[in-house]
Structure 1
Amino acid sequence: MTRYTDIAIIGGGLAGSITAAMLGKAGVSAILVDPHAVYPPDFRIEKISGPEQIGRFRRTGVADLALRRATLAPENWIARFGYVLDRAPVHQYGILYDALVAAVREEIPESVGRIVAKAAAITPGEDRQSVVLSNGETLSARLVVFANGLNVSLRHALGITRTITSPAHSISVGFDLEPVGRPAFPFPAMTYFQERAGARVPYVTLFPIGDRMRANLFAYRAVDDPWLRAVRRNPAETLDAALPGLRRITGDYAVNGEVKVRPADLIVTSGYRMPGVVLVGDAFCTTCPVTGTGSDKVFTDVERLCNVHIPRWLATDGMSEAKIATFYDDPVKIACDAWSLKKAWNFRSVSIGTGPHWLAQRWARFAVSLGRGVWHRLAGRPLSAYSSSSSSSSSSSLSSSA
């Protein structure tokens, strides 16, 4: 059995689901292929924040339901060395990745076909692409959108290769944090930055998802570092050792539930310029979760593809390599990819670099946060360091080594 469509979308995570929703709303014939009828829990994007990132999401036209279901934190405390430097007004939305995907999928119109299967093989061409599915069906599409993240076997069969440019560039650790001896933490959300470069932990961010306080801890460690076993077995003790001043602000805390650990490689793709096939999101290239720019790349890729390029491609016959190249050469996409990659390398260097230059960079960032806090206080936003009477940790000095 062969089904015909204009667009076949391979992968139903965030990128694929947004693509399906956008095309469906625009009246474009599309079919979404993913092995999961309901997207399973996955430790990926858990927070959308800042006016630029939220703006990119809203430009897709499918953000409203997801943001309504997320938990808004209107203020984020910035802290280091056991002191609150600033209480920054923000719009920060916490939502688990599977819930985010589920909300976006609800935006997909019924006109978009959905097939619960895997793409097993694809034959690209200048006019139509043939996609063989694991359930025995075949799709005939003018364009195939690869939005299947790190699943590479199908792309390898097409001669698309991936190169790891920085293995285990960073490690992400996710868990729930709960206060001990008190009903709630004193902050709506908080980003607590490193106290010393040698800990190789740039920061932990704490933010609400429903009635839970979620923690995303980031580290620059090798995948065989004993630290990873320690954080899985004794997450609270490991967090204390890396950021000893944290309890001064949070008070006593305990880690609740499963600890999830995800190494992230930086990967670039080659051989992707071909007729009839386009790659978006992590299928094209990866970024570092420490910088929080992964969702920016997804939103930018999909918005440009669906709002700009696909309408132009469908307006004329064929789906040549020259057509597809206009997406990869889109200056907005190129700028976003370059910005994300630059942040990935710069944040790592600033966090763990040992030379005078990087030491100065860390103190400069500290001074900027402190200055913003003073400005907010003078503008009528009182700033006071919260000190827990129940905390047994000694306070850290602001003059401690960066």
Structure 2
Amino acid sequence: MRYTDIAIVGGGLAGSTAAAMLERAGIPAILIDPHRVYPPDLRCEKLDGRQVDILRKTGLADAVLRAATHDRSVWIARFGYLLDKKPSDQHGILYDTLVNTIRAQIRAEANIVHAKALAISTSPERQTVVLSNDEKISARLVVLANGLNVGLRHTLGIERRVISECHSITLGFDIAPVGRARFSFPALTYYPERSRDRMAYLSLFPIDGVMRANLMVYRAVDDPWFRQQRQAPEQALGTLMPGLERIAGSFKVAGQIRIRPADLYVSSGHRQPGVVLVGDAFATSCPAAGTGTNKVFTDVERLCNHYIPTWLSTDGMDENKIAAFYDDPVKTECDAWSTAKAFHLRSLSTDNGLSWRARRWARFVVRAGEGALRQLNDEAEARPTAERDQTAEAGHGKLV
């Protein structure tokens, strides 16, 4: 039997972040995950400014940003027309790179056990985790960060309720220009041209010199379109977005196309002594809405910075302590925002009601107006510089 304060089950983004934070805080914690190196997985592939701001509160942002690629600027397009070129705070990073970078911040090898958690028994005082390597871990608190794996939760009487089955589907792949060395844009977001195509957007962004593509759609998982996408991806993308080539130029899809459907679900029966759920283990988010990483970082930051240190300062780990985390106003606001954004974006992309059609056109007009205004401002700022350069050149000519 090994003894610790915190046992973390699951070494994805949530679990690895929690383990690294607790080690930095000097709180004894053991991360339990069977993978010595986290494998490739189609999940979060970029971080925006809001997510980086939360990540900074964990103390891990510098290491992550060194491993990421900052795009600095993104083009916005629809109907084959460039609407805007605006500054961007996106940082591209593959999910396995993100997780392994954070894991590398866990300095003590003894704080990671490479095994599967087979069973958990809980109480208001201490919890026991039985592992596949015949070890047992006794902890004051178990943090369940094992994502979509429901087996352990079911043994504890924790259930999940699906609120939107196959809410969205993400396609991830690399894309390369044809007939030229690079794309003309640093990053590109292309919005759908027809609501019947059931598409949210296509995001193209750089990761380590490669242009990565995330295509977000709302389709049934058995839709024949996915087979077409795998067999003739360039043709399928051209049919879906006829105006894309006008902005991006000729391109080819390189390497494997990964496809990941996402259900939206929430947990029930989770308010129990001795165990707390974070990230997807508690509730899922829609990848198209881009809020999953917000939820993970918010959950872990609130838990490790605010609740675990307080809980450990007194005896026991009863349900009242655990409930404080689930009722945390920052967490609950983030959860509600994530769910609302998931349903709003789906309706905005696919609903043909008059109000939703009006909102789509309003968004198009607003983005076009913002782009035109930004271009005018950029030209106005550049004009004095050009005039000074011309004056300097004329003066230099006179001196010669």
Q: CA deviation at 1:97?
A: 0.5
Which residue type is aligned with residue 185 of structure 2?
F
Specify the alignment match of 1:378 in structure 2. Answer: 376
1:61 aligned to which of 59, 69, 80? 59
| Amino acid aligned to 2:297 | F
SS of the residue corresponding to residue 126 of structure 1 reads: coil
Instruction: Look up the match of 1:102.
Output: 100
Aligned twin of 2:305: 307
**Residue 153 (structure 1) aligned with residue 151 (structure 2):** yes
Percent identical across equivalent pairs? 59
How far 1:277 moved relative to its partner? 0.1
Matches within 5 A, 1:49-128: 49=48, 51-110=49-108, 113-128=111-126
**1:234 aligns to what?**
232
1:163-182 alignment to 2 at 5 Å? 163-182=161-180
SS, match of residue 37 in structure 2: coil
Say whether residues 1:321 and 2:319 are aligned partners.
yes
Give the alignment's TM-score, normalised by structure 2.
Answer: 0.94
- Offset from partner CA, 1:216-249 (integer Å, 9 cap, x none): 0011001111112111222211111111100001
Q: CA deviation at 1:164?
A: 1.2
Deviation at 1:272, TM superposition (A): 0.4
Alignment check: 8 A CA contact 1:117 1:135 kept: yes
SS for the counterpart of 1:198 is helix
Cα distance in structure 1, aligned partners of 2:379 and 2:264:
40
Matches within 5 A, 1:212-251: 212-251=210-249
Higher Cα radius of gyration: 2
Q: Aligned to 1:18, what secondary structure does the other structure show?
A: helix
Counting only pairs closer than 5 Å after superposition, residues 197-346 of structure 1 correspond to structure 2 as 197-346=195-344
Q: Name the aligned partner's letter for residue 221 of structure 2.
A: V
User: Retained in 2: the 8 A contact 1:29–1:112?
Assistant: no
Residues 55-114 of structure 1 deviation map (CA, whole Å, 9 limit, x = unaligned): 011111111111111111000111101111011101111111101111101111317611
Identify the residue that residue 28 of structure 1 maps to in structure 2.
27
| Structure 2: runs of 5 or more not aligned | 381-400
Tell me the distance in 1 between the aligned counterparts of 2:307 and 2:367: 40
C-alpha contact 1:20 1:112 (8 A) present in aligned 2? no
Aligned match of 1:42: 41
- Aligned equivalents of 2:19, 2:177: Cα separation in 1: 41
55-64 or 138-147, which moves further after superposition?
A: 55-64
Distance 1:327 1:367 in 2: 42
The total of aligned residue pairs comes to: 380
Distance 2:82 2:6 in 1: 50
Compare the two structures and name the one with the higher helix fraction: 2
Structure 1, residues 187-228: CA drift from partner, whole Å, max 9, x if none?
A: 000100000101111210000011110000011001111112
- Report the counterpart of residue 397 of structure 1 in structure 2: none
CA distance in 2, matches of 1:42, 1:202: 21
Query: What is the deviation of 1:131?
Result: 0.6
Question: What is the one-letter code of the residue matched to 2:81?
Answer: Y
Which position in structure 2 is the counterpart of 1:19? 18
Return the alpha-carbon distance in structure 1 between the equivalents of residues 102 and 50 of structure 2. 19
The whole-number CA distance in structure 2 between the counterparts of 1:77 and 1:301 is: 32
Moved more, 19-28 or 65-74: 65-74
- Which residue identity does 2:117 align to in structure 1? A
Counterpart Cα distance in 1 of 2:22 and 2:89: 28
Provide the rounded CA distance (Å) in 1 between the counterparts of 2:276 and 2:110.
19
- The answer to whether the 8 A contact 1:202-1:218 is kept is yes
Q: Does the residue aligned with 2:26 lie in a helix, a strand or coil? A: coil
TM-score (ref. length: structure 1): 0.93
Is 1:359 the counterpart of 2:360 in the alignment?
no
Q: CA RMSD in A?
A: 1.0
Conserved 8 A contact 1:172-1:217: yes
Q: Output the CA distance in 1 between the equivalents of 2:230 and 2:285.
A: 24
Measured in 2, the distance between the counterparts of 1:53 and 1:62 equals 12
- The one-letter code matched in structure 1 to 2:278 is V
In structure 2, distance between residues paired with 1:88 and 1:147: 36
Are 2:44 and 1:7 equivalent residues in the alignment? no
Contact 1:95/1:209 (8 A) holds in 2: yes
Contact residue 126 and residue 318 of structure 1 kept, 8 A: yes
TM superposition shift of 1:339: 0.3
**Structure 1 CA distance for aligned equivalents of residues 255 and 267 of structure 2:** 36
Structure 2 counterpart of 1:174, one-letter code: G
Distance 2:4 2:341 in 1: 39
Unaligned runs of 5+ residues in structure 1 are 383-402
Deviation at 1:40, TM superposition (A): 0.5
Q: Hey, which bits of structure 1, 4+ residues long, moved more than 2 A?
A: none
1:81 and 1:291 map into 2 onto residues whose CA distance is 21
Counterpart CA distance in 2 for 1:227 and 1:205 is: 19
Distance 1:185 1:352 in 2: 29
Question: Which residue type is aligned with residue 114 of structure 1?
Answer: I
Counterpart CA distance in 2 for 1:35 and 1:150 is: 15
